[in-house]
């Protein structure tokens, strides 16, 4: 007899979704989350937390949502031949807190397109990359996408993007108001033949699901929402806890999935005081994020050779323009408009690919965005009287606006997450080590599309433009960009899904091939990265995996 029907490791969008579906079906669920809880009262989930604020120091520099990279470091190197590690500290960290990355993402939640699940069939192989097709296609996932949008509460305009995948219905809410600077780049992009549209966003544009409409406070990306207008994943956690069938334990670090006779029996975890506990369950759902899930599998002795391999981040291309006028880029939901035209290879992209001896190149979704809040801005200026002048002129906060393209990052087996042989976390366990270098495809695609993005900025009135990428493999390692460590916060691919146990870690429903009552419900299962944010797709896959669990 087990204590719970399922134990869920991690309370971010993936874990919260699994808990929502499992409790809805009558299962008892224990959610174990290693971070602290600022989101809701586990005993009265209707009471949402009040510790979120528009405080840049607290959220950006003092690790309020965790993890503290001194206590829970990660390590990084560019190649396995480099050395054991080139960098120790923060490596694409997402918040470690109840709600995971969902609490402070600005929540652009687009669906993938049909060809994203069929990249090998659609465009063909690329030398030195492990491009493969997914074991699930868009048509099968569509109802789960629609359900995910309803559960989270996504605001968007179904007819606005001519490149969008077919939908069975409209978005649950209309889009919210545009940021002023977006109106300039949207108009310029349209004049040059592109098709910008309101970003599908997991923030209420109108009151929805018992939560208020966003007030466009401007502290969205990297901040918890003070009024809980963001639905992901608070809405799923509230529903799961509201059934009375879920228990939420925060500051509970799971260090092992316990397995006997080819089946998981539960997990072992450490509480905030260092005491070790064991939770027994009929199923274990792993939703610790695409870097911590492979780490936990490896810590638990799972030995599939592909665990941790094919780690992908989006290759980000930033093209920024300097404008004479104040554009107020820091007011609004961080990003209100995007365009997709750079994803499918057009004749110009095909010519560039051919010239670079590549089979094809693909860009990604382009976010219309501005860079800085006041403290981040202040850190970039020299000290003394010049500092005051520059802050008053406010180039970085008020007059800089542009684009971030989330470029397709091709899977490569040598890019991987494994256990660092020497560096340990505060509990004494080996930390996740990432070995990663971008494929030539990413750099060629980035350079090709950056030129076009700069043209849009000039058309919008920019006086000059500048381009940077993340990662930048040639840059020095440091606490901020540019750095060889990817910054995207979109981590994918470390427990690939597929039909064949020889070429995939989990089956098409997220079940670990060799231990099928362990189910992976995060973006670890992605086969390719696409050029869209991963969260809505991982939530749709978690819905599908949890529905399969309950039959
Ligand atoms: C600033 C920012 C902006 C973003 N914007 C977007 C966007 O616009 N669109 C988009 O699609 N995505 C965006 N993302 C990414 C998005 O947040 C992630 O894709 C999403 O949170 C992943 O969900 P997850 O549940 O898989 O993992 P996570 O959100 O990382 O949650 C995993 C949870 O598991 C916990 N955990 C890990 N290991 C253990 C363990 N051993 N024991 C117990 N608990 C554990 C962690 O503490 C964490 O809370 C953004 C992220 C950031 C940081
Ligand atoms: S911009 Fe809106 S959704 Fe984002 S933190 Fe502010 S109020 Fe919340």
pLDDT in tens, 286-337: 999 999 999 999 999 999 999 999 999 999 999 999 999 999 998 899 999 9
pLDDT of residue 232: 87
pLDDT of residue 481: 78
pLDDT of residue 371: 79
Q: Is the CB of 229 under 6 A from ligand 1?
A: no
Q: Going by CA atoms, what residue is nearest to atom 4 of ligand 1?
A: 105
Q: Which ligand is nearest to the CA of 364?
A: 1
User: What b/e sequence results for 237-247 when a residue is b if at least 16 CB atoms lie within 10 Å of its CB, and e otherwise?
Assistant: bbbbbebebbb
Q: How far is the CA of 148 from the centre of ligand 2 (A)?
A: 20
User: What b/e sequence results for 399-428 when a residue is b if at least 16 CB atoms lie within 10 Å of its CB, and e otherwise?
Assistant: bbbbbbbbbbbbbbeebbbbbbeebebeee
Place of tokens 């749709």: 540
pLDDT of residue 542: 98
Closest CA to 42 of 53, 52, 25, 30: 30
Cβ pair 15, 232 in contact under 8 A: no
Query: Which ligand 2 atom is the nearest neighbour of the CA of 214?
Result: 2
Q: How far is the CA of 382 from the centre of ligand 1 (A)?
A: 34
pLDDT of residue 479: 75
CA angle centred on 480, ends 336 and 449, rounded to 5°: 50
Query: Which ligand 2 atom is the nearest neighbour of the CA of 224?
Result: 5
Q: How far is the CA of 189 from the centre of ligand 1 (A)?
A: 31
Query: Which ligand 2 atom is the nearest neighbour of the CA of 106?
Result: 4
Which residues does ligand 2 sit against, CB inside 6 Å?
203, 214-217, 219-220, 223, 225, 227, 229-230, 333
Per the DSSP assignment, residues forming a β-bridge with 317 are 405, 469
- How large is the C-alpha radius of gyration of the chain? 22
Q: How far is the CA of 100 from the centre of ligand 1 (A)?
A: 5
Q: At what angle do helices 440-460 and 347-355 cross, to 10 degrees?
A: 140
CA angle centred on 365, ends 361 and 370, rounded to 5°: 125
pLDDT of residue 1: 79
The stretches in the chain having pLDDT less than 70 are none
Residue 175's Cβ-side half-sphere holds a number of Cα atoms within 13 Å equal to: 22
pLDDT of residue 507: 98
Query: Which ligand 1 atom is the nearest neighbour of the CA of 13?
Result: 25
pLDDT of residue 104: 86
Q: Is the CB of 233 under 6 A from ligand 1?
A: no
Closest CA to 366 of 526, 178, 182: 182
Place of tokens 């998981």: 264
User: What b/e sequence results for 217-230 when a residue is b if at least 16 CB atoms lie within 10 Å of its CB, and e otherwise?
Assistant: bbbbbbbbbbebbb
Q: How far is the CA of 15 from the centre of ligand 1 (A)?
A: 10
Q: Is the CB of 316 under 6 A from ligand 1?
A: no
Q: Going by CA atoms, what residue is nearest to atom 4 of ligand 2?
A: 220
The whole-model pTM stands at 0.98
Q: Which ligand is nearest to the CA of 333?
A: 2
Q: How far is the CA of 354 from the centre of ligand 2 (A)?
A: 44
């Amino acid at each position: 007899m087990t204590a719970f029907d399922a134990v869920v490791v991690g309370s971010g969008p993936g874990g919260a979704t699994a808990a929502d579906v499992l409790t809805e079906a009558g299962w008892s669920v224990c959610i174990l989350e290693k971070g602290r809880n600022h989101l809701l009262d586990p005993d009265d989930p209707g009471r949402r937390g009040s510790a979120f604020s528009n405080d840049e120091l607290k959220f950006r520099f003092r690790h309020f949502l965790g993890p503290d990279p001194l206590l829970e470091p990660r390590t990084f190197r560019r190649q396995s031949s480099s050395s054991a590690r080139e960098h120790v500290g923060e490596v694409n960290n997402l918040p470690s807190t109840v709600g995971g990355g969902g609490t402070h993402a600005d929540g652009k939640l687009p669906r993938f397109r049909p060809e994203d699940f069929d990249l090998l069939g659609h465009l063909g192989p690329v030398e030195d990359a492990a491009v493969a097709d997914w074991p699930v296609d868009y048509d099968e996932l569509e109802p789960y996408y629609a359900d995910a949008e309803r559960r989270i509460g996504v605001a968007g305009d179904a007819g606005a993007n001519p490149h969008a995948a077919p939908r069975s219905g409209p978005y649950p809410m209309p889009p919210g108001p545009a940021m002023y600077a977006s109106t300039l780049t949207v108009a310029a992009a349209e004049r040059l033949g592109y098709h910008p549209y309101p970003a599908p966003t997991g923030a209420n544009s109108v009151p929805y699901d018992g939560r208020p409409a966003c007030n466009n406070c401007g502290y969205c990306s990297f901040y918890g929402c003070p009024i809980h207008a963001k639905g992901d994943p608070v809405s799923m956690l509230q529903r799961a806890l509201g059934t009375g069938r879920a228990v939420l334990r925060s500051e509970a670090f799971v260090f092992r999935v316990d397995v006997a006779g080819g089946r998981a029996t539960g997990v072992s975890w450490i509480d905030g005081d260092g005491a070790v506990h064991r939770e027994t369950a009929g199923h274990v759902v792993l939703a610790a994020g695409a870097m911590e899930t492979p780490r936990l599998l490896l810590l638990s002795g799972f030995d599939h050779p592909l665990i941790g391999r094919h780690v992908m981040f989006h290759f980000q291309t930033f093209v920024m323009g300097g404008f004479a006028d104040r554009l107020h880029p820091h007011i609004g939901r961080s990003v209100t408009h995007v365009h997709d035209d750079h994803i499918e290879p057009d004749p110009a992209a095909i010519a560039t690919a051919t010239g670079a001896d590549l089979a094809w190149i693909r860009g990604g979704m382009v976010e219309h965005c501005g860079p800085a809040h006041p403290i981040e801005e202040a850190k970039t200026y020299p000290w003394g009287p010049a500092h005051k002048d520059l802050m008053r002129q406010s180039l970085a906060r008020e007059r800089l606006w542009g684009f971030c393209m989330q470029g397709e990052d091709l899977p490569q087996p040598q890019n991987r997450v494994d256990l660092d042989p020497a560096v340990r976390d505060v509990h004494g366990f080996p930390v996740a080590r990432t070995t990663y270098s971008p494929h030539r495809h990413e750099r060629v695609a980035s350079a090709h599309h950056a030129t076009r993005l700069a043209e849009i900025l000039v058309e919008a009135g920019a006086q000059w433009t500048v381009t940077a990428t993340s990662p930048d493999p040639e840059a020095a390692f440091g606490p901020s960009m540019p750095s060889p460590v990817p910054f995207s916060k979109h981590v994918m691919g470390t427990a690939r899904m597929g039909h064949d146990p020889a070429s995939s870690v989990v089956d098409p429903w997220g079940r670990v091939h060799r231990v099928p009552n362990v189910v992976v419900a995060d973006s670890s299962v992605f086969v390719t990265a696409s050029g869209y944010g991963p969260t809505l797709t991982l939530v749709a896959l978690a819905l599908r995996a949890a529905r399969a669990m309950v039959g």
